[in-house]
Amino acid sequence: MTDPRTATIQSHLERSTKTLEAVATECIPSILEAADLISTAFKNGNKLLICGNGGSAADSQHMAAEFTSRLRKDRPRDALPAIALTTDTSFLTAFANDINFEGIFARQVEALGKEGDVLLGITTSGSSKNVVLACEEAAKRGLVTIGLTGSAGLSCDSTHTVAVPGEDTQCTQESHIVIEHLICELVEDHLFPA
> What CATH number did the domain enclosing 22 receive?
3.40.50.10490
Asked, for residue 2, whether it belongs to a domain, the answer is no
Q: Is the pTM of this model over 0.85?
A: yes
Asked, for residue 106, whether it belongs to a domain, the answer is yes
The count of domains in the chain is 1
Residues 102-146 pLDDT 10s: 999 999 999 999 999 999 999 999 899 999 999 999 999 999 999
Asked, for residue 1, whether it belongs to a domain, the answer is no
pLDDT value at 20 more than 90: yes
Asked, for residue 82, whether it belongs to a domain, the answer is yes
Alpha helices in 47-168 (DSSP H): 55-68, 89-98, 104-112, 129-140
Asked, for residue 46, whether it belongs to a domain, the answer is yes
Instruction: Provide the residue range defining the domain that includes 177.
Output: 11-191
Asked, for residue 95, whether it belongs to a domain, the answer is yes
Q: With both helix axes pointing from N to C terminus, report the angle between 169-191 and 55-68 in degrees, rounded to the nearest 10.
A: 10
